[in-house]
Amino acid sequence: MEAVVVDAGSKLLKAGFAIPDQDPALILPTKMKRVPEDGDMVDSTMFEEANIDPVTRGFIRDWEAMEDLLHHVLYAGLGWEEGNEGQILFTEPLCTPKALREQLVQLMFENFNVSGFYASEQAVLSLYAVGRISGCTVDIGHGKIDIAPVLEGAVQHIASKRFEIGGIDLTKLLAQELHKSNPLVKIDISEVEKLKEQYAICAEDSVAYEEAQKSSQAERHTLPDGQVITIQRERSLIGEALFRPSILGLEEYGVVEQMVCSISTVSSENHRQLLENIVLCGGTASMTGFEERFQREAVLCSSSIRPCLVKPPEYMPENLSRNSAWMGGAILAKVVFPQNQHITKGEYDETGPAIVHRKCF
């Protein structure tokens, strides 16, 4: 039986058997609803309390909920049989605390009885997905931005940067702006998320952004309940926030400047290798116009080396940037498990959860 690869994000969990050139078999929301047990009373005023986010800003925070979600995914979704569980590989966000790594391997061996376990950092896996072992990944997910220079398959942690902002913060920004321009309309946050995915764009440069903000052309959109709203300057504002965090009220450099700063702290002899192999990943990075704007800004920020974005191989699915960590995990699983580089049940029983730091690095 093929190993299972799991990429558990703040918004979506992706799981499936390790088939590298295919999308994951399961892509489902990570958010869960607490179903009341018989006799429990849950009225409409408690609706928000009935929602659970097992993963927050990329890290597992509610382990009981995550166990329930994984049980559904592995047994009902992928067909594992109790008593005959297989091997599993998890993707890890940048800067995952040691305690969380140990808790995950403990959960897998003690509660799921897996026969083998491995974990690898998302930055490395995203590079594997495009056929590289060195480069710089810029991962803009739902709850975080991870920027990681990688050399020969090893993340340069001292140069890496993690920011606890992401797609959810852009969604909240859009909700605020839509309320200003449509004050009489109440829009559910899940609907705002859909509006962001449909309408948000990145202007090609700061001049084009300023012109877009002055434009009088507005899109009219009919909500599911029949209300009509207008979307105008909000479209380009969302994308611009990634390059001007001051829009979000943050005193930070934009995403391109952060990447250049990150690479600059690595030995200069590696700058060319990193700048010429930039991988954009995460759902937010697929925003219309983002890739072109990123490339343009990167060229302006770098004086002697022309930065280049890595294009996905032709044999890979079109939406590789959204699933690159999972697909890299599928590639790696084809190596670590057949070559016995993973953690076995015997090794876990002998050493305990701390073995994850020795075997998965």
130-140 pLDDT tens trace: 999 999 999 99
pLDDT at residue number 38: 54
Q: Which of 282, 269, 217, 211 is nearest to 240 (CA)?
A: 211
Q: Which of 40, 43, 66 is nearest to 53 (CA)?
A: 66
Give CA torsion, residues 68, 69, 70, 72, to 10 deg.
90
Q: Is the pLDDT of residue 74 over 90?
A: yes
Least confident of 40-44, 93-97, 123-127, 314-318: 40-44
- Give the span between the Cα atoms of 222 and 227, in whole angstroms: 6
- Give the span between the Cα atoms of 340 and 121, in whole angstroms: 19
- Give the span between the Cα atoms of 258 and 255, in whole angstroms: 5
Q: Are 90 and 124 in contact (CB under 8 A)?
A: no
Assign domain 167-246 to a CATH class.
alpha beta
Q: Which of 133, 126, 148, 128 is nearest to 9 (CA)?
A: 126
| pTM > 0.85 | yes
- Give the span between the Cα atoms of 19 and 64, in whole angstroms: 29
Average pLDDT for residues 264-290, to the nearest whole number?
94
Tokens of 178: 């839509």
Beta strands at 145-151 and 154-155: parallel, antiparallel or unpaired: antiparallel
Q: Which of 324, 310, 273 is nearest to 134 (CA)?
A: 273
Q: Are 150 and 137 in contact (CB under 8 A)?
A: yes
- CATH code of 4-124+317-359, in short, is 3.30.420.40
Report the run of H or E that residue 28 belongs to, with start and end.
strand 26-29
Q: Is the pLDDT of residue 297 over 80?
A: yes
Enumerate the β-bridge partners of residue 154.
151
Enter the DSSP assignment of 141: -
Average pLDDT for residues 30-52, to the nearest whole number?
61
Q: Is 7 helix (H, G, I), strand (E, B) or coil?
A: strand
Enumerate the β-bridge partners of residue 201.
288
pLDDT at residue number 358: 95
- Give the span between the Cα atoms of 140 and 50, in whole angstroms: 28
Assign domain 135-165+252-301 to a CATH class.
alpha beta
Residue 350 CB burial class (10 angstroms; 0-12, 13-18, ≥19) = exposed
Quickly tell me which residue has 């959204």 as its tokens: 322
Q: Is the pLDDT of residue 113 over 60?
A: yes
pLDDT in tens, 41-50: 444 444 445 6
Q: Is the pLDDT of residue 36 over 90?
A: no
Least confident of 26-30, 105-109, 303-307: 303-307
Q: Which of 191, 297, 302 is nearest to 242 (CA)?
A: 297
Domain with CATH 3.90.640.10 in the chain: 167-246
Average pLDDT for residues 309-332, to the nearest whole number?
89
| HEC sequence for 272-290 | HHHHCCEEEECHHHHCECH
Using DSSP, how many helices (H) and how many strands (E) does the chain show?
A: 13, 17
Q: Are 288 and 240 in contact (CB under 8 A)?
A: no
Average pLDDT, the chain: 92
Q: Which of 116, 8, 99, 29 is nearest to 340 (CA)?
A: 116
Domain with CATH 3.30.420.40 in the chain: 4-124+317-359, 135-165+252-301
pLDDT in tens, 208-243: 999 988 886 788 999 999 999 999 999 999 999 999
